[in-house]
Homo-oligomer: A and B are copies of this chain.
Amino acid sequence: MIRVSVVGGSGFTGGELIRLLAYHPEVELVQVTSERLAGMPVSTAHPNLRHMSLSFTSAEQLAPVDCLFLCLPHGQHIARYTEFQGIAPKTIDLSADFRLNTPEAYDQWMNIDHPLGHELQNWVYGIPELNREALKLSPHATGAGCNATAVVLGLWPLAQAGVIGDLPVITEVKVGSSEAGAESQASSHHPIRSGCVRSFQPTGHRHTAEIEMILRPYGVTRVDLSATAIDMVRGILATSHVYLNQTLDWRDLMGIYRDCYQQEPFIRLIANRSGQYRVPEPKYLAGTNFCDLSIHWDARSNRVVVLSAIDNLMKGASGQAVQCFNLMHGLDETTGLTFPGLSPV
């Protein structure tokens, strides 16, 4: 059994990690920390885990383990970097602290003068479909942004195939309220947040930095992203508009996606052209590690609309972190991630 602990376990990604790791057949979940809830059962924060006897502990009491998951608010890992270094030979950080690969990007997109810029190259960007081999070898993985994961997985095959034209890609993500975290805010007050369709980031979304970090090396000029909060708790649907640099039809495009993703256990390409379920829908992905994709070609504009859906807390955070963990420990990539989702839901 691989011994693991979770730092920062009272939030949403922490809760998902506890759920996944407690039921993971190759894992012993040793400790889960929360300074605020130390001594209390994990179900104080995560009511789905009512039957579990595990309690939160303080980070000061962390015992050595094989792998440490960090679910701290952005900035805290940087601030407490040395504190966690001796705990475990392998670390997986779900925050944004080591996601970007240059200090300049932190400066530009997050307005941060990153004090550990020299460490950035040591953290593998944790999307296995992009970096599988690197993850197998690395002691350090960094989680990818949830919106970035949805967008990048949607565009990756086109970028790899070199068919994206010079025009900027425009992507609109529809997101749920869990993306903003477990802390209550004025904007998350139910009478205000319920039923809302609120564009909270029409321009300037930070995940753009990650998306362009990945795609620019493949010739993508720019990705212009807008984000709209809708009445949903979990889930992301990204609608990406790509103008091609050559004439391709739907079959050509599906060929590109199939070539790229046919071996991927967590990517499902939707090719149905009849029936009810012809597009990715985030609700059917709740609790799963799948990314569902469909592509729609518009002859009029030589444009492809790519739809990609994930559960932001799973493939967009904790599920993908466990997928990375499996790779980093030589396990089958799907171990502990087999829940297929519910329907109806």
Contacts and interface: CB of A to CB of B under 8 A. Distances in A.
Interface residues on A, range: 35 or more
A261 to B, nearest CB: 12
Interface stretch (A89-97, A128-136, A294-302): A294-302
Nearest to A44: B275
Interface in A272-302: 275-277, 279, 281-284, 286-288, 290, 292, 296-298, 300-301
A306 B172 CA distance: 13
Contacts of A1: none
A309 B228 CA distance: 13
Could you say which of A178, A191, A194, A298 has the most chain B C-beta atoms within 10 Å of its C-beta? A191
Interface stretch (A27-35, A68-76, A234-242): A234-242
B228 A241 contact: no
B12 A344 contact: yes
Contact of A198 (B234, B243, B281, B343): B281
A200 B279 CA distance: 8
Nearest to A279: B199
A168 interface: yes
A232 interface: yes
Nearest to A268: B50
A190 interface: yes
B279 A168 contact: no
A193 interface: yes
A279 B49 contact: no
A233 B23 contact: no
A124 interface: no
Interface stretch (A78-86, A111-119, A333-341): A333-341
User: 4 shortest A-B CB distances, which residue pairs?
Assistant: A191-B344, A184-B189, A203-B298, A190-B193
Given A174-B174, A184-B188, 7 more contacts: A49-B343, A185-B189, A188-B188, A190-B194, A194-B194, A226-B305, A234-B344
